[in-house]
């Protein structure tokens, strides 16, 4: 399973309730569920939720846990204050104008002492794609900013969250998006080279050797994603 967040580092446990804000088709939801946690996924894109909800619900039933999905956005989370033990927000902040406002909502629904993992594309990879063409940022639903880690950390601080760690992920995916940018992003899926590399990415998923190679080498050279791990202060 291709995860951006290190669930060990986020310390997801079987007694936890986890929110995945911007869950897409729920890859982190399934990852947390397999660790015994209850999970709630939230996304604006209804087709993605529809594609994943039945499988998530069925797997949660098999494990005797909670697996739910809701449609909504990060600025108006439909949950009470201090609901979740852990919160994941992966590859969302680069799409929204008020990322500090979104971070405040994530903080609101996190329990005191709870942990969060916020992921964004690395500034280095984004600058590389930008040099290869404008389509990456001008396509509908594209990114509206290039983040630096300090910029996001300061935004989390304004939301009352303290950054406690940083990680990197998806070193194999940076060349993939470089290739897509070179091949003209809107029509890149028609490229034979893009198709071959995508097949390669699928084939290496779950390979222990390739996983170690990515974590030990490529994530230090050309990571596509940056992960900030944060905490909400515990009640004194």
Q: For position 183, what pLDDT does the model report?
A: 85
Q: What is the DSSP-derived secondary structure letter of residue 93?
A: G
* DSSP conformational letter for 234: P
| Architecture of the domain whose range is 7-231 | 3-Layer(aba) Sandwich (3.40)
The answer to whether the beta carbons of residues 62 and 89 sit under 8 Å apart is: no
- pLDDT band, very low/low/confident/very high, at 59 (cuts 50, 70, 90): very high
Mean pLDDT (whole number) for 71-79: 92
**What is the C-alpha separation between 193 and 69, in angstroms, rounded?**
36
What pLDDT, on a 0 to 100 scale, did the predictor assign at position 185? 76
What is the token pair recorded at 131?
């040099």
pLDDT in tens, 85-132: 999 999 999 988 899 999 999 999 999 999 999 999 999 888 888 777
What are the two backbone dihedrals, phi and then psi, of residue 170, each rounded to the nearest 5 degrees? 65, 45
Rounded mean pLDDT, 55-73: 95
The structural domains of the chain, with segments of one domain joined by +, span 7-231
Place of tokens 């998806």: 170
Tell me the pLDDT tens digit for each residue of 166-221. 999 999 999 998 888 888 877 888 999 999 999 999 999 889 999 999 999 999 99
Residue closest to 36 by CA, chosen among 54, 5, 60 = 60
Q: H helices within the chain, ranges in order?
A: 7-10, 27-34, 46-63, 99-109, 123-132, 135-138, 149-158, 173-182, 192-204, 208-213, 219-221
What is the side-by-side strand order in the sheet with 67-71?
67-71, 38-43, 17-21, 84-90, 110-121, 225-231, 162-169
Q: Provide the 8-state DSSP code for 55.
A: H
Tally of CB atoms within 10 A around 2 = 15
Tokens standing for residue 25 = 């088709």
The string of pLDDT tens digits covering residues 1-38 is 689 999 999 999 999 999 999 999 999 999 999 999 99
């Amino acid at each position: 399973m291709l995860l951006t967040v290190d669930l060990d580092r986020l310390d997801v446990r079987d007694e936890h309730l986890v929110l995945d804000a911007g869950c897409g088709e729920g890859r982190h939801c399934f990852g947390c569920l397999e660790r015994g946690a209850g999970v709630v996924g939230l996304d604006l894109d209804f087709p993605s939720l529809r594609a994943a909800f039945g499988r998530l619900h069925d797997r949660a039933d098999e494990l005797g846990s909670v697996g739910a999905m809701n449609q909504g956005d990060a600025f108006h989370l439909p949950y009470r204050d201090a609901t979740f033990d852990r919160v994941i927000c992966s590859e969302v902040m680069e799409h929204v104008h008020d990322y500090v406002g979104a971070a405040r909502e994530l903080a609101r629904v996190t329990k005191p002492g709870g942990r969060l993992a916020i992921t964004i594309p690395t500034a280095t990879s984004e600058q590389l794609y930008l040099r290869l063409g404008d389509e990456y940022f001008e396509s509908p639903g594209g990114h509206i900013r290039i983040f630096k880690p300090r910029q996001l950390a300061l935004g989390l601080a304004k939301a009352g969250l303290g950054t406690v760690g940083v990680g990197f992920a998806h070193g194999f995916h940076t060349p993939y998006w470089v290739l897509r940018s070179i091949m003209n992003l809107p029509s890149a899926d028609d490229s034979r080279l893009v198709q071959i590399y995508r097949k390669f990415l699928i084939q290496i998923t779950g390979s222990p050797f390739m996983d170690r190679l990515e974590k030990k080498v490529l994530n230090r050279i050309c990571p596509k994603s940056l992960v900030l791990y944060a905490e909400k202060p515990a009640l004194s």
